[in-house]
Amino acid sequence: MLRRTLLATAALGLGIAFAGAASAQDKTKACFVYVGPIGDGGWTFQHDQGRLAVEAAYGDKVETAFQENVPEGADAERVMTQMALSGCDIIFTTSFGYMDQTNAVAAKFPDVKFEHATGYKRDSANVSTYNARFYEGRAVMGHIAGKMTKSGKIGYIGSFPIPEVIQGINASFIHAKKVNPAVTISVVWAYTWFDPAKEADAAKALIEQGVDVILQHTDSTAPLAEAAKTPGVIGFGQASDMAAYAPSPRVSSIIDNWAPYYVERVGAVLDGTWAQKDTWAGIGGGEVQIGAISDAVPVEVKAEAEAMAAAIGAGTYHPFTGPLNKQDGSVWLKDGEVANDGDLAGMGFYVEGIVGDIPK
Amino acid sequence: MDFGAINPAVLIASLMVASVPILLAAIGELVVEKAGVLNLGVEGMMIIGAICGFITAVGTGSPLLGFAGGAAGGAALSLIFAVLTQGLLANQVATGLALTMFGLGLSSMMGQGYNGIKPPLTSAVPFGPLSDIPVLGQILFSHDWVVYASVAIIALVGWVLRYSRVGLILRAVGENHEAAHALGYKVQRVRLGAILFGGAMAGLGGAYISLVRVPQWTDGITAGQGWIALAIVVFASWKPWRVLIGAYLFGGISVLQLNLQAAGSRIPVEYLSMSPYLITIVVLVIMSSGRATQNAPAALGQNFHASR
């Protein structure tokens, strides 16, 4: 694995060096670091759609480069350094685990702009962070899950126990419980963003435990492929539409739409107005989209889910609205109170009703 | 610990499926080692089998041809090993390790563009009413044909090694190649055959991962299962039926730990995830301290040339 990445890195470095030499300084170069392969059909695929949108929007004025399958660790730092050295003007690092590496490399290259997805550290002025309010989509999925489950058991494949994932688990559970008070949720931690074999095993174990609705916070389509083997089990597309598995097991999806943000930020580099900022947009801002709800879902459930998505988008409903208690029974939000962004960004607890501990 | 939430029938049925790749790769490697050759390239052959099987199955739309393609791919890669170690007398350990790395890299290149594609489905063998028998039906009559084939292959290999002339010659070559040569047996040809069989079995195991277990292609999909297969051969002290036990034990613990997680066990996730490997190491240590290692083929890992 390491060896291959190294070779690939070297090859990419060469490629960038030649490309950089060939094209003069007038082109703006946008580079992307991906955690999985573009063909994952999920997270990385959507980021690459954003990259293609940048190319389409600015044509000859920009060129783009990317590197797939970059591990979250020392390799990532090497890849970013190589990109910065080879003339990239703006570098998008598209996984939470690149946070420290992005800030370390950014400190060494003050003239290069860095954009880190889903992180919160902006140590130097040339680092921006951007994220999407995935939990808004999760709330809608949770509603459908609560309505659709027959066994009353919902499964959730978690990647890493970080706030973003915990938000998703809580949002799903709160809204499933609202429509189905008897519902329970089982969480399996996969400790990976992309490992189809592990994700399939996790889905299989959940199904064996009687779960008939699977939510995933990992990037591949493997859990849906596993769900397809058992009739009556449904799941949701994650990050990308995953329409190949519609109408069932995939009954809907959360789509990450990075294209508008990427086009805006590369545009800002082009006209020299780029400045550090922290973006956290959701359904309202168009960064989170709800994929078409399939015919496997009853019409009235579909209508409710769409109404909820519209209310969240319009800002009239917040998925974390009190009264809500923490797992230990203590009050988190009072009646009508809405969670603030600071609490959400650091969320490290389950809400009342979820059984199990969050691994440390 | 809460075992109450886990249905043993479901657990046994799914461990049988989970163990198939290791089982196939290990029985192939057992034959190779019985012939006196140590091929550490199992992981490489498995992953080449996984991608060749996947490409063939997607291209032809037939899972059966996919498995054939996987076996052919694994055998083709093992042919490189055979040429290097039997023809050119290269060191077997080094060549085997190189084969694994080569296989991982080559599969990644071959797999470009195959990410996220759905392969044709391998369905369960229709046993009709038999599969409706409670407990037993689920354990014995609910699988696809490869699960049954893998057990049949174990039985066949066990029988051939023990009772047939071919098996006797193979073992003779593995125990003492000088003596086998003196008796007029073609040591290198026998070993070539064994290596190709080992490659084909590893390839079949790999194809099972990419066509049934996951079913998808991704880089590094075998995730170290080839190494586990190598450990299982030692674990089994080169006895075919023990390979079955070893593979089911490892597969069983892998499945059990995920089920425990899903059932909301109180054991920390980290311990559960490492448990299959931990137990493999513990069993290997216990086995090595006994007489089991004396059961290793005497000429294991030694090259042979008629002129010496």
DSSP for A238-284 reads EES--GGGTTTTEEEEEEE--HHHHHHHHHHHHTT-----EEEE-TT
| Distance between CA atoms of residues A190 and A218, nearest Å | 8
| Interface A-B: count of C-beta contacts within 8 A | 99
**A225 to B216: CB separation less than 8 angstroms, yes or no:** yes
Nearest-by-Cβ selection for B264 from A7, A41, A356: A356
Going by C-beta distance under 8 Å and a sequence separation of 6 or more, which residues neighbour residue A298?
Answer: A147
pLDDT at B308: 58
Q: Choose the mutation target among B12, B123, B214 for the interface with A, i.e. most A CBs under 10 Å.
A: B214
Say how far apart CA A65 and CA B66 lie, in whole Å: 35
For position B139, what pLDDT does the model report?
A: 85
- The pLDDT value given to residue B9: 84
Inter-chain CB proximity B18 and A197 less than 8 Å = no
**CB spacing of B254 vs A37 below 8 angstroms:** no
Nearest CB to B218; choose among A38, A196, A209: A196
Tens of pLDDT along chain A (360 residues)? 455 555 555 555 544 544 444 444 578 999 999 998 887 778 999 999 999 999 999 999 999 999 988 989 889 999 999 999 999 999 999 999 999 999 999 999 999 999 999 988 999 999 999 999 999 999 999 999 999 999 999 999 999 999 999 999 999 999 999 999 999 999 998 888 888 878 888 898 899 888 999 999 998 888 998 888 888 999 999 988 888 888 889 999 999 999 999 999 999 999 999 999 999 989 988 889 999 999 999 999 999 999 999 999 999 999 999 899 999 999 999 998 999 888 898 899 999 999 888 887
At what angle are helices B42-60 and B63-82 packed, to 10 degrees?
A: 150
> Mutation test of the interface with chain B: which of A2, A4, A48, choosing the one with the most B Cβ atoms within 10 A?
A4
For residue A7, what pLDDT is reported?
Answer: 54
The predicted structure's pLDDT at residue A23: 45
Q: Which of A38, A188, A194 sits opposite B258 (nearest CB)?
A: A188
Across the interface, whether the CB atoms of A359 and B270 are under 8 A apart is answered: yes
CB atoms within 10 A of CB A311: 14
A interface with B, Cβ–Cβ below 8 Å: 1, 3-4, 7, 37-41, 45, 69, 155, 186, 188-189, 191, 194-198, 200-202, 204-206, 208-209, 211, 220-222, 225, 244, 355-356, 359
Tell me the nearest-neighbour CA distance from B122 into chain A, angstroms: 10
CB spacing of A222 vs B273 below 8 angstroms: no
Q: How many Cβ atoms from other residues are within 10 Å of residue A340's Cβ?
A: 10
Q: DSSP code of A220? A: S
- Mark A226-238 as b/e (b = at least 16 C-beta within 10 Å): bbbbeeebbbbbb
Query: Which residues does chain B have within 8 Å of residue A244's beta carbon, measured at their own beta carbons?
Result: 118
Q: Which of A188, A196, A359 sits opposite B216 (nearest CB)?
A: A196
Q: Give the angle B192-B198-B202 at the CA atoms, nearest 5°.
A: 145
Structure tokens at A55: 């190319």
Considering only CB atoms, A4 lies closest to which of B108, B259, B270, namely B108
Rounded CA-CA distance B136/B13 in Å is 9
pLDDT at B22: 95
Tokens of A289: 């989209």
The separation between the first and the last C-alpha atoms of chain B, rounded to the nearest angstrom, is 60
CA distance B116 to chain A (A): 5
Query: Cβ of B259 under 8 Å from any chain A Cβ?
Result: yes
Q: Is B130 on the interface with A (CB under 8 A)?
A: no
Using CA atoms, how far apart are residues A265 and B155, in angstroms rounded to an integer? 64
Interface probe with A: pick from B15, B16, B115, B272, most Cβ of A within 10 Å = B115
CB contact under 8 A, A196 and B113: no
In a mutational test of the B interface, the residue from A157, A195, A201 whose CB has the highest number of chain B CBs within 10 Å is: A201
A26 burial level (CB within 10 Å; 0-12, 13-18, 19+): exposed
> What whole-number distance in Å separates Cα of residue B293 and Cα of residue B267?
34
Q: Does B4 touch chain A (CB under 8 A)?
A: no
CB contact under 8 A, B216 and A45: no
Across the interface, do A41 and B116 touch by the CB < 8 Å criterion?
A: yes
A247 residue type, one letter: P
Q: What is the DSSP letter of A182?
A: T
pLDDT in tens, chain B (308 residues): 345 567 888 888 888 988 999 999 999 999 999 999 999 999 999 999 999 999 999 999 999 999 999 999 999 999 999 999 999 999 999 999 999 999 999 998 998 888 778 888 888 888 888 888 888 888 888 889 999 999 999 999 999 999 999 999 999 999 999 999 999 999 999 999 999 999 999 999 999 999 998 888 888 888 889 999 999 998 888 999 999 999 999 888 888 888 888 777 777 777 877 888 888 888 878 777 766 667 889 899 889 888 75
Which chain A residue has the Cα nearest residue B260? A205
Do A186 and B264 count as a contact with CB atoms less than 8 A apart?
yes
Q: What is the pLDDT of residue B291?
A: 67
**What is the DSSP secondary-structure string of chain B?**
---TTS-HHHHHHHHHHHHHHHHHHHHHHHHHHHTT-----HHHHHHHHHHHHHHHHHHHS-HHHHHHHHHHHHHHHHHHHHIIIIIS---HHHHHHHHHHHHHHHHHHHTTT-TTPPPPP-PBP--GGGGGSTTHHHHHSSSBHHHHHHHHHHHHHHHHHHHSHHHHHHHHHHH-HHHHHHTT--HHHHHHHHHHHHHHHHHHHHHHIIIIIS-S--TTTTTTHHHHHHHHHHHTTT-HHHHHHHHHHHHHHHHHHHHHHHTT-SS-HHHHHHHHHHHHHHHHHHHHHTTGGGGS-TTTT----TT-
SS3 A237: strand
pLDDT (0 to 100) of residue B292:
63
> A4 to chain B nearest CA, in Å?
7
Whether B118 has its CB under 8 Å from any CB of chain A: the answer is: yes
Helix pair angle (B165-175, B187-208), 10° resolution: 100
Interface of B with A in 27-86 (CB under 8 A): none
From the CA of B8, how many Å to the nearest CA of chain A?
11
Token digits for A259? 């294209």
For the record, the structure tokens of A166 come out as 């915990």
3-state secondary structure of A27: coil
Is residue A249 within 8 A of residue A222, CB to CB? The reply is no
Dist CA A32 CA A68 (whole Å) = 9
Query: In this complex, is the C-beta atom of B270 within 8 Å of any C-beta atom belonging to chain A?
Result: yes
Distances (CA, A) of A37 to A43, A229, A269: 9, 25, 27
Shortest CA distance from B266: residue in chain A: A356
Nearest to B17 by CA among B111, B151, B129, B190: B151
User: Considering just the CA atoms, what is the radius of gyration of chain B in Å?
Assistant: 20
